[in-house]
Amino acid sequence: MKKFKGISTSPGIAIGRIFLYLDEKLKVPRYDILPDDLEAEFDRFKEASSRATEEIKALQKNASERELVEESQFLESHILMLSDPEFLSSIERNLKSYLKNVEWILYLTVKQVVKKLESADSPYLRERTVDIHDVAKRVLSHLMFNERVSLSDLKNDVIIVCHDLLPSDTIGMKRERVKGIAMNAGGKTSHTAILARAFQIPAVLGLSDITDYARSAERIIVDGDNGVVILDPDKKTLAEYNEHLNEWHRHEKVINLQNKLACVTEDGKRINLYANIEVPEEVESVIEHHADGVGLYRSEFLFLQADGDATEEKQFNAYSHVLKSMKGKGSVTIRTLDVGGDKLIPDISVIGEKNPILGWRSVRFCMGRKDIFKTQLRALLRASVSGNLRIMFPMISGSDELDDILDVLEEVKKDLDKENVPFDRTIPVGIMIEVPSAAVTSDLLSKKVDFFSIGTNDLIQYTIAVDRGNEKVAYLYEPFHPAVLRMIKMVIDNANDAGIPVSLCGELAGEPKAAAVLLGLGLENYSMSSNSLPEIKKIIRSITMKEARKLSETVLGMDSAKEINRTITEWMEGKFGK
């Protein structure tokens, strides 16, 4: 038995047999050519590139037919790379400089591009090297007449163990056969992580060297909840995880019986549970879990791609897909572009800012690049006729900034009017409260918008002055810090006084320990990952408002996060026996 610790990127537990997916590296030949051969070599490249493009288009067509919008767009970036003038010029230039065969020139050129990306400060840009390798392998395969291994023909249920999964691999694989993924490479923002979450496949990435130890058909456990992978588990460990899995299935069956029931406290208070999504395909899970709507659609995923080219039509199609899918099932709150900090758009965002979390990000970026911002607003307004849309602006710091943002929105509406483009004129417009200045002035901001959504992920780090991505100070990132709870209470009270709805869409909304406390603070709208909905619903349906208020009043009077944590834990154990 061997245990590996990696990055938990998609929750759940999977037990099964390994499908060792090692797409063997091609042995790239290297030999001299004559100047007279240059044209013929480049023609060979163009022919192989053309075949690869046709292959990608076939995959893209398949993805489109299955309404897999994001996957289709991954592949579009691959097609664009093969026709990119700069990339083609690099191939030609290296051919002339080195006078080597085009297979080796392609290998060399890709190596140069990858080296630049790997030196970038942004984890996202470093992870984009997978797209470059994907395209290069495809072209090399045609140059060298090699067949590529496919995951589309899986006959049995498997857990994939690999160094990396290329976007085209993930799109083409027979998804119903893949029960888990364990991968050497990757992080939380990689294609594999995003798609694994969207399709509810347990996944642990960033394992470094698991492929060196894994053996085909060997038993494996993927614990996506804790970021652990176990190869060849012993009988005791296997029995423990089988019991965990059986317990989870039993728990899921009980929970699913409540899925269609309204989320109502024991004393009759109706609470709304919404779902957060990153890609349009997650709507299926939102509907399956009977969420009251989409409380947060993180639109930046459309922009964080290899080409960074989120055209108006691409955005319009993605937003329309979600709105149409949710029509009659609840509202869809789409957050406008939230990039910067640790989320950079290739070739646009500033790399190397001294304080990126406090820098040119979110609405600040949008106001600096109004061309990008207005394009998104146009796409959102156009899509609004397809369903119940709500537009939400992130990281608003105060009234002046909000006024500027709303002015831009009005400009875009006037432009669409001039063009006779229809849109819903009653779209609710709201803001995320994730900056302390916004929380403190939420009484003023509430007069200018239709709703609030509290983004605790950032609100916590800004309130306590702790970078949640910095492992040296991670211990200070405390959701139950007295200042955080008081700030949440302040925002809820100010929204209630103004008569506007307020939700909470940070990770805290899906934390079982926080459910009762937030309810006691006055929260009536929660938004979280679909997988967290059943547990939170079960807790809320099992308590009264009186109990929740008493608990929140107790913890609000405490001065220590440790004391608050201990009190909540004891309360949960006394109420639920866990």
Cα 321 to Cα 305: distance, rounded to the nearest angstrom: 19
Instruction: Measure the CA dihedral 415/421/427/429, to 10°.
Output: -30
Phi, psi angle pair for 19, to nearest 5°:
-110, 105
Give the bridge partners for 180, in sequence order.
159
3-state secondary structure at position 570 = helix
Cα 277 to Cα 285: distance, rounded to the nearest angstrom: 9
If you write DSSP's letter for every residue of 216-252 in order, what string do you get? TT-EEEEETTTTEEEES--HHHHHHHHHHHHHHHHHH
3-state secondary structure at position 189 = coil
Give the Cα-Cα-Cα angle 457, 282, 335 (nearest 5 degrees).
45
Q: What is the DSSP letter of 343?
A: B
Cα 569 to Cα 576: distance, rounded to the nearest angstrom: 10
| Given the residues 162, 263, 366, 505, the one annotated as active site | 505
Cα 444 to Cα 391: distance, rounded to the nearest angstrom: 19
Structure tokens at 314: 């691409």
Cα 298 to Cα 134: distance, rounded to the nearest angstrom: 26
**CB-based contact 413:381 (threshold 8 Å):** yes
| Given the residues 78, 163, 191, 290, the one annotated as active site | 191
3-state secondary structure at position 563 = helix
Beta-sheet pairing, 203-205 with 178-183 = parallel
Nearest to 274 by CA among 256, 259, 258, 294: 294
Tokens 């119940």 identify what position? 388
Phi, psi angle pair for 502, to nearest 5°:
-135, 135
Is 505 known to be catalytic?
yes
What is the side-by-side strand order in the sheet with 228-231? 2-5, 228-231, 219-223, 13-21, 158-162, 178-183, 203-205, 7-10
Is 162 known to be catalytic?
no
Cα 247 to Cα 50: distance, rounded to the nearest angstrom: 52
Other CB atoms within a 10 A radius of the CB of residue 212 amount to 8
**AA identity, residue 126:** R
3-state secondary structure at position 173 = coil
Q: What is the DSSP letter of 151?
A: S
Nearest to 322 by CA among 278, 290, 374, 289: 278
**CB-based contact 8:229 (threshold 8 Å):** no
Please report how many Cα atoms fall inside a 13 Å half-sphere around the Cα of residue 471, on the Cβ side: 0
Contacts of 167 (CB under 8 A, 6+ apart): 71, 74, 75, 78, 130, 131, 134, 191
Beta-sheet pairing, 2-5 with 451-454 = unpaired
CA distances from 158 to 14, 17, 155, 171, 243 (A): 10, 6, 9, 16, 20
Cα 248 to Cα 246: distance, rounded to the nearest angstrom: 5
Residues designated as active site: 191, 505
